[in-house]
Structure 1
Amino acid sequence: MKLATIRTPTGTAAVRVEDDHAVELGEPDLGALLRHEDWLDRATVDGPTHAVSDLDFAPVVPSPEKILCVGLNYRRHILEMGRELPKFPTLFAKFPPALIGAYDDIVLPEVSDAMDWEAELALVTGPGGTIAGYTVLNDVTARDWQYRTAQWLQGKTFARTTPVGPYLVTGDLAPAQLSCEVNGELMQSASTSDLVFGPAELIEYISTILPLAPGDLIATGTPGGVGHARKPPVRLGDGDLVTTRIEGLGECHNRCRAEKPS
C-alpha cells in the first residue's frame, strides 16, 4: 500500500494512493495517522479523492518528532575507502525544517558553496517502534559546514534541503536498487542489500537509546558516488535537477535553487 501526505487548498491531508487517484483518510498527515494503533485499518477507508496527476506532495511525515540518520553504512563503499566496517551505527540528527516534498525545490543556502547529494533509503516508524514502511530520501549536505567540526549536524540540517517521499510504502522491503542522478547523469547506484546495519538492526539499536514515536524518520545511509569524494569534487548548483530513486518505492525530482539574499 502507498500512503502519502499531500497539500490541498485547505491544508494537508493523509491519503492512500491508488493507480490514478488518491483517497483522503480523514487525518491531516501521515504522522497523525500513524499515532493510531489501528492505522493500517484506517488507511483502507474511503473519502474524498484526488487525481494522482494533480497531487502536491508534502514530506511523507511533515513534522516528525525525530529524524535520525546513519553514516558509513554501505559495506562496499566503506571497504573501497580502506576503512574497517563499523561495529556500531554512526548516528546524527536532522530537524523538521530541513524536510521538503518529493518535487519541491532544494534551497541551496547562501552561506555554503559545497552542497552535495546523498541518496538514501528511509524508514518510518509506527506505534511501539515498529516499521510502518519505507520511503525515498536525499540527505543533501553542506560539506563545508559538515566538516567545520567533528560533529556533522551543522552541515546536515539546513532548512528546505532534504527531499523525502513521495510515498510511504508499507510491507516488507525486498533488496532494492537505489540511485541518484544529477541532470540525468548517474552519480550513485547500489543495492540496499549492501547495508551494514539493516532497518531492523537500526530500530533495535536506536530503541535502546530512546523510545521511537510513530512517524519518526530514520535515514539509513548513502553509498559511494557522492560529489565530495570525486576528483575534483562536484557540487550542486542553481538549476541542477536531482533525481533520487529506489526500486519499488518511487522517486524524488528536485530542482536546486540558490537561496535569495535576505
Structure 2
Amino acid sequence: MIGASVAISMADILPEDGTRGTLVGRIWRKGHPEGPSIVAVRAEGVFDISGSAATMTDLCNAPDPIAVARSPGQRIGALEDLINALLAPIDLQAIKAAGVTFAVSLLERLIEEHAKGDPTRAEHVRKELNDIIGADVSAIRPGSPEAEALKRTLLERDAWSPYLEVGIGPYAEIFTKAPPMAAVGYGADIGIRPDSDWNNPEPEVTLIVSARGTIVGATLGNDVNLRDIEGRSALLLGQAKDNNGSCAIGPFIRLFDETFGLDDVRQAKVELEVTGPDQFRLRGQSDLSKISRDPTDLVMQAMGGTHQYPDGMALMTGTLFAPTEPRIPGGTGFTHLIGDRVSIRSPKLGTLTNTVNHCDKIPAWTFGVSALMRNLAARGLLR
C-alpha cells in the first residue's frame, strides 16, 4: 500500500544522526511496469539497489547485508520527493510479535482479561490487581525459581492467568501479527475494527532477523491492539491483532554496522505521540532497557530448531507503554478516534507516522506474495 501524505520534516523522519547509519527501505516506483524497489537512503539521496537485492528478504539473508546495502544502485531522487511512495521496509519476512514483555503490559493484559473487555471496569480492576501482584511482578525474572514461587502463591489466591504464564513463565508469548506483505509503512492509514470501542497503539522496536536467526537490524512498529476484543478471551488474539492495516512498520530498517548495534537496541527509547481531531494529545515513552526478556532470547524463542523462517522474520519486541489517560474528562480511559495521528520515534531509528481509520475504510490489501513475484518477474529482477 502506498503511504498517504503526512507533513513532517526530513530531520524528523530520519534518525537523529541522519543518514550516517545504513538505512534501507522499500519504495513503490512508477514506471512500466511499476512496483516495489529496494532502496538505500543516503546523504546524496535515495538509491534503487534492486539490481543487488530484488527483495528485502534477499538483502537481509545475504552473507553480508551491509555490502549489499552499500552497492552503488541508481539514484531516483531526494527523500522528501519520495515520502508518499514509502512502503513497509519488509516484504517476504514472517511478521511476528512478542507480547507481555514488560511488567506494565502484563498488568494491562490482566486488566483486559478481568474487565472482560469493558473499559468502564478497567480502573477498578487495575487497583485490585496492583494491590495483589503489582510490585511482585515488576521485580520478577521470567522462568526463574522466584517466578515459580510467585506462580504458586498466585494460584493459591486464584489470581493466575494465561498472561501471567507468558509474563513470568519460561516461555514468551510469540504470535503471528500479520501475514508477509500485509504491513503498511510510513504515512499510510492504520486500521481499527469498527466494532471496537477500546483500542490503542503499541509502539515497539522491531527486530529484523535473517533466516539463520541473526539479528541484522531494527526498525519501528505499531502493533495496533483492540483491547476490548482481546479482553473477552485470549483466544480472540487473532481478531484483536490481525486486521486490515493493523500492522505498521518503518520508516526504514537500520542495519547493524559500525554506527548501530544490538546494544543500541537494548537501550532504545521509543516515544509515542497521538494527536486527535478532538485536539486531544497523548505522549508516552517506552524504554527497552526495562524489558523482561533480552531481544536475543525473544528471537531464540521465535525461531530455532522447532520453527524455521527461510525468508527471515520481523519480530516486534513488545511495549512498556499502555495508555490509560481518559480521552474525555471524567471518561474511562484512552481509545482511538478516527483521524488520530500516531507518531512513534526512536533517536536511532527515526519516526513512523500513521493516521487511524476503520479497517473497512482503508485500501484493501491486494498486493501479496504472488503479486510481488509476478511483478519482479515482469521487471526482470528474478533470477
TM-score strictly above 0.5: yes
Q: Does residue 179 of the first structure (1) align with residue 271 of the second (2)?
A: yes
Q: Does structure 1 conserve the Cα–Cα contact (< 8 Å) formed by 2:201 and 2:224? A: yes
Residue equivalent to 1:251:
351
Residue equivalent to 1:67:
95
Task: Look at both structures and tell me which one has the larger radius of gyration over its CA atoms.
Answer: 2
Moved more, 244-253 or 84-93: 84-93
- For residues 91 and 244 of structure 2, the distance between their equivalents in structure 1, rounded to whole angstroms, comes to 13
- For residues 37 and 89 of structure 2, the distance between their equivalents in structure 1, rounded to whole angstroms, comes to 11
Residue equivalent to 2:247:
162
Matched ranges for 1:229-244 at <5 A: 232-244=332-344
- For residues 22 and 112 of structure 1, the distance between their equivalents in structure 2, rounded to whole angstroms, comes to 39
Residue equivalent to 1:24:
48
Moved more, 203-212 or 234-243: 203-212
Moved more, 81-90 or 226-235: 226-235
- For residues 225 and 132 of structure 1, the distance between their equivalents in structure 2, rounded to whole angstroms, comes to 28
Residue equivalent to 2:27:
6
Residue equivalent to 2:317:
220
Q: If the length of structure 2 is used for normalisation, what is the TM-score?
A: 0.62
Q: Does residue 204 of the first structure (1) align with residue 288 of the second (2)?
A: no
| 1:99 match: secondary structure | coil
Q: How far did 1:98 drift? A: 4.6
Pick aligned residue for 1:48 from 65, 69, 74? 74
Residue equivalent to 2:379:
none
| 2:87 match: secondary structure | coil
The amino acid of 2:78's aligned partner reads A
- For residues 101 and 180 of structure 1, the distance between their equivalents in structure 2, rounded to whole angstroms, comes to 16
Q: How far did 1:60 drift? A: 1.2
Runs (4+) off by over 6 Å: 228-231
Q: Does structure 1 conserve the Cα–Cα contact (< 8 Å) formed by 2:177 and 2:247? A: no
Q: Does residue 188 of the first structure (1) align with residue 272 of the second (2)?
A: no
Tell me: CA distance 1:229–1:139, structure 2 relative to 1, closer, same or farther (3 Å): farther
- For residues 212 and 109 of structure 1, the distance between their equivalents in structure 2, rounded to whole angstroms, comes to 29
Which structure is higher in helix share? 2
The amino acid of 1:13's aligned partner reads S
- For residues 212 and 339 of structure 2, the distance between their equivalents in structure 1, rounded to whole angstroms, comes to 42
Q: Does structure 2 conserve the Cα–Cα contact (< 8 Å) formed by 1:98 and 1:157? A: no
Q: How far did 1:75 drift? A: 4.3
- For residues 201 and 5 of structure 1, the distance between their equivalents in structure 2, rounded to whole angstroms, comes to 28
| 1:234 match: secondary structure | coil
Q: If the length of structure 1 is used for normalisation, what is the TM-score?
A: 0.89
Q: How far did 1:40 drift? A: 2.6
Q: Does structure 2 conserve the Cα–Cα contact (< 8 Å) formed by 1:117 and 1:227? A: no
Residue equivalent to 1:33:
59
- For residues 87 and 186 of structure 2, the distance between their equivalents in structure 1, rounded to whole angstroms, comes to 7
Q: How far did 1:102 drift? A: 1.6
| 2:296 match: secondary structure | helix
Unaligned regions of 5+ residues in structure 2, if any?
1-21, 108-129, 141-167, 365-383
- The number of residue pairs the alignment matches comes to 261
Q: How far did 1:121 drift? A: 0.7
Q: Does structure 2 conserve the Cα–Cα contact (< 8 Å) formed by 1:58 and 1:100? A: yes
Q: How far did 1:33 drift? A: 2.1
Deviations 1:170-189 (A, max 9, x none): 11141121121110834321
